[in-house]
Chain A
Amino acid sequence: MHHDVQIEIYGIRHHGAGSSRNLLAALAQFEPNIILIECPADAQHLLTYIDDAALIPPVAILIYNKKDLKQYAYYPFTVFSPEWQAIRYGLTHQAEVRFFDLPQTHSFLVQDDAVSTKKEAGFMRDPFARMAELAGFDDPELWWDTYIEQQGTAPEVFSAINELMAELRSADLTEKESNNLREAFMRGQLRKARKEGYTKIAVVCGAWHAPALSDGMYTERQDKKLLTGLKKVAIDCTWVPWSYNRIARHTGYSSGVISPYWYEALFTDPDQAVASWMSRASSIMNDMGYSISPAHTIEGSNLAHALALMRQRTWPGISELFDAISSVYCHGDDDLISKMRRKLLEGEKVGEVSDQIPMVPLQKDLERLVKQARLSKDWRKQGAIDKSLDLRKKTQLNASRLLHKLLLLEIPWGEENEPENNPLGNFHEYWTLNWYPDYEILIIEASMWGNTIDEAATNYVLDKINSEKDFEHLGILLYQALHGYLPALVAPISRKIRDLGSVTEDVHLLLTITPPLIWSTRYGDIAKLDISAIETLLDQLFPRICLLLPDQVSNISEESSRAFFTAINRMHQAIQMATNTIRKEQWISTLLQIAKDVHADPLIKGNCLRIMLVKKTMAEHHVLSIVRFELSDLSDPFRPALLIEGFLASGGWLLIHHPALRSVVDSWFGALTDEEFMTYLPIIRRTFGTFHESEKEMIYSLLFEKRKLTNVDATLDETRTDAVLPTLRKLL
């Protein structure tokens, strides 16, 4: 060893804010001319992008196996990650920065035996979090501060860590093969840097590895032997935007990044961290509509500090912060506390990656499709954008297909609104677009299923339907596959639905999934869909619905009656828009059967009776006689009221246009005793409450004009009728 070479090994905690602060101090003191960083060496070229501000953290390096996209690895960086700060230091101080971990091209092939226990893995990944846990700390940063920071400033801290880790490693923990390889490789890189003539070498690595990189214990020959003959796979890598949510979620508890926001505050300005955390809590509470004064921020900080003092800690950790918030802001309200906890932890911060950076093939394909569909200006825009697509136009048809395909990949950029509210006929789809930055990651994750959107969506869904048992989900998948124009999916999903549908007795479920299929058939030609598979499927499902439905809507609970009510109306609307007349007839005769059934559920029966009246399937006097019959039954107080509710569900216009019906309902009301009236009142109110204002006015005037004209009767006292009017108005 040349004695003019200085090597400093900085064992850090990944994403440790305290580590970062110390590291920066140490680097400033040491002034290295090369910095070796624990990150796969084959991602080295990605460092060039950091320079031109093309990256705003949190970002991650994604490395994937080109041949097998299921194999991939992420290396996330935040502004408070020591690795990120080390890179930035190197760039601003003209020191060479080098990734020196075992290249991923080998790592993908190194399979560790699954013998190592979780505990060991925990120690290796983040020894500090494990030690903090053992010491009873729920916030590793706090443990770090209490036990490491107290050891002194930068250089001493790192030598203390080295000793600590050496001690830990000497305990009998079986080293994983991948770990041995990685450390051998890192030692090799260190030797290489020395040979190249660098005199001040800084090494930034996970604390666990620190002792293994120091000199003396391993020989160059041993290391070389270990590393010869390693196999390779073809890899590619890129930068992707990352998010604080994923830092907290993906790395899990063991990494101890409970709240990235807190760590960021700790890194950027530890003295103000508590205050800035509390003012964030204040603004969240204000946004939720609570009135929060600046005094809360101060009181919250005071209490957090008092708690830290109480617990003999140097400053508040995450649990002190939350305890203070629960007491000062939430007044012990458990619901509010958990809501605040979620909001404070989950706040979304997403990094940025400029588009000069190479993308995965799927991203490129998506960008092409977005351009083709002329959606570029809406892409990556946050905030709801309403979009109507005319499917007769090629580009808009493309847009529709793309959005459906993304839905299949579970990237919900667009949300399709149901066509019931669609007054313009069959050529349009209505979408609400809203892009969340997290979708970038979903795209890259989806890339494991294929390099084009078509391929990925197809593979993903084919894989998914194997285990999908939920009928409704399958229905939605089929609809989306059709509209996304992925013919390869239609047959397999249809088959799956048919298999499940032919055994299920659950008519409600059948009723729920069928309408989207019927919509698909009606504008098949416009969207250029192949609807033959759908027609076959409907031919099998639809008759079953018609057959089973009448029997299933008697003697049911009010809850399921309401569920059926909604499902029947949705189906009815779909059928009305469809072109298949045979199905229309089948459907109407099913409803007729229910309308005539004495035992049918009153809400649904009322509903069917109305449809019969409107469709003129039954004569008016026939319908009215059934209604009269039902209303005469006073044994069950709710049956008549529910029947009326079902009957009048589509609005007050029925009462306006059918004088005979009006008089049936009117005379039923008249015959009620006071007590009965009071019993029905809430249900009646519920029905009439849904009427449009103008409808209510109309009914009101119809009822009274009629009275005044026909009952010009000396016995009718004007003042007495006037006394009734205000009450009646209220009721209506």
Chain B
Amino acid sequence: MKKTSNIRAHAEEQYGKELTALKKEKSTPKPDNWVLSPQQVSTYILGGKAKDGTEIEPKYFGQKRLVELAIATLITDRALLLIGVPGTAKTWLSEHLAAAISGDSTQLIQGTSGTGEDAIRYGWNYAKLLQDGPSEEALVPSPIMRAMQAGRIARIEELTRIPSDVQDALITVLSEKILPVAELGVEIRAQAGFNIIATANDRDKGIHELSSALQRRFNTVKLPLPASLEEELDIVSYRVQKLSKLKKGKGTKIGLEEIKKLITVFRELRSGRSEDGEIKLKSPSSTLSTAEAISAIHSTQSMAYYFEHRADDPLPMAEHLVGAVVKDARQDLKIFEEYLETVVKKRKGWERLYEACKSLVNAS
């Protein structure tokens, strides 16, 4: 493959080696048009070893049973809906599932309030349409149509942001597995292997809730925030290490202890109670997801690298921390200050972080 400098590669490109290794090995039967068997998909997502010894990196760190539930859903002919608060790796999981099942994670619709029916069904090339009238050449297939024809997984991001009447265009696709093209008097039939993985944020569930008819076509899997500090720490340090393409320099690495502190702050503010469960706290308006923790630590490290800070200087991390917590200046700032005083101040070994945060809070 030609060496390019795309910022980001598709999952199937980035982990092509792993997918090939798994594909080669003998497996239990594969559902029609699946690249891997269900067990192999599970190994690909959760990590392990291919039979030829290729190391399979874990892609998702949450509960194994949820991943199995997601894969099992795709074996049956129901579609999969992944829900969860922002930063619970819904998109990430959906991309990797599609890559592992169809070898293609690119049949993607980004749901917005402006998503129209043609994004789900098909559109027209108007130049051709005007010239020759409706014809197959003038038809512009949607990602879903393409996935149906090829027997692959189509992905819909933020399903609940799509207006309800547009959402309902999915019902025929999911229940009848056909997509009629009335203008041509034909129908597109889904090939085996076709299915849909949708994601939705359950915090803004209310925007356009699924009609019950559509909901019945989906099995729902809720992805939780990491249950324990250790679990979250594993995820964050693993992902930060993956993200970091920086050359090793003096003091560019943030120590595990510091990462642990940042995650502790995130978890405590998110849940509204201290980790020992003894102090009740107010939660700020910010989401404080695991993904944000990863990004905060990654940018702290990058800054340390490019600006040659010492990574053990608590100020850069404090800046990112305050930035992530304080979204609504007036309220969040007060909440954060209260948190600093009641929890952080008393902790041994947290003195420098406290000082750094305190100086930032006072300055704003």
Contact = CB atoms under 8 A, between A and B. Distances in A.
B219 A307 contact: no
B215 interface: yes
B221 A332 contact: yes
A96 B166 CA distance: 72
Contacts of B68: 307, 310-311, 323
Interface in B49-76: 65, 68-69, 71-73, 75-76
Contact of B72 (A291, A306, A330): A306
A319 interface: yes
A310 B71 contact: yes
B97 to A, nearest CB: 13
Contacts of B103: none
B78 interface: yes
A303 B220 contact: no
Interface string B224-238: 000000000000000
Contacts of B81: 331-332
A323 B65 contact: yes
Contact of B38 (A291, A296, A310): A310
A544 to B, nearest CB: 34
A205 B42 CA distance: 41
Interface string A284-328: 000000010101100100110011011110000001000110111
Contact of B219 (A309, A310, A327): A327
B212 interface: yes
B39 A299 contact: no
B212 A291 contact: yes
The contact size tier of chain B is 20 to 34
B168 to A, nearest CB: 17
A31 to B, nearest CB: 42
Interface residues of A, number: 24
A107 B313 CA distance: 69
A324 B202 CA distance: 20
Contacts of B212: 291
Contact of A328 (B42, B65, B75, B219): B219
Contacts of B222: 326, 332-334
A345 B300 CA distance: 49
Given A291-B212, A303-B73, A310 B39 contact: yes
B211 to A, nearest CB: 13
Contacts of B73: 303, 306, 327
A311 B216 CA distance: 25
B148 interface: no
Contact of A309 (B38, B78, B202, B215): B38
A139 to B, nearest CB: 13
B55 to A, nearest CB: 22
Contact of B83 (A296, A323, A332): A332
B17 to A, nearest CB: 24
Nearest to B67: A310
B216 A327 contact: no
Contacts of B28: 312
Given A327-B219, A332-B202, A299 B76 contact: yes
B216 A295 contact: yes
B38 A327 contact: no
B42 A306 contact: no
Contacts of A302: 76, 78
A68 to B, nearest CB: 43
Output the residue of B42, B75, B215 with the most chain A CB within 10 A. B75
A332 B220 contact: yes
A128 B73 CA distance: 31
Nearest to A320: B72
Contacts of B219: 299, 303, 327-328
B76 to A, nearest CB: 5
A469 to B, nearest CB: 23
Given A307-B68, A307-B72, A299 B38 contact: no
Given A293-B216, A319-B65, A306 B76 contact: yes
Given A323-B65, A323-B69, A334-B222, A310 B75 contact: yes
Interface in B66-108: 68-69, 71-73, 75-76, 78, 81, 83
A336 to B, nearest CB: 11
Contacts of A310: 38-39, 42, 68, 71-72, 75
Interface string A248-280: 000000000000000000000000000000000
Nearest to B202: A332
Contacts of B42: 310
Contact of A303 (B38, B39, B76, B215): B76
Given A323-B65, A323-B69, A309 B220 contact: no
Interface in A46-74: none
Contacts of B38: 309-310
Contacts of B39: 310, 312
A302 B212 CA distance: 20
Interface of A: 291, 293, 295-296, 299, 302-303, 306-307, 309-312, 319, 323-324, 326-328, 330-334
Given A303-B73, A327-B69, 14 more contacts: A293-B216, A299-B219, A302-B76, A303-B72, A303-B76, A303-B78, A306-B72, A307-B72, A309-B72, A310-B75, A319-B65, A323-B68, A328-B78, A332-B222
Interface of B: 28, 38-39, 42, 65, 68-69, 71-73, 75-76, 78, 81, 83, 202, 212, 215-216, 219-222
22 contacts: A291-B212, A299-B219, A302-B76, A303-B72, A303-B73, A303-B76, A306-B75, A310-B38, A310-B39, A310-B42, A310-B68, A311-B68, A312-B39, A323-B65, A324-B69, A326-B222, A327-B219, A331-B81, A331-B83, A332-B83, A332-B221, A334-B222
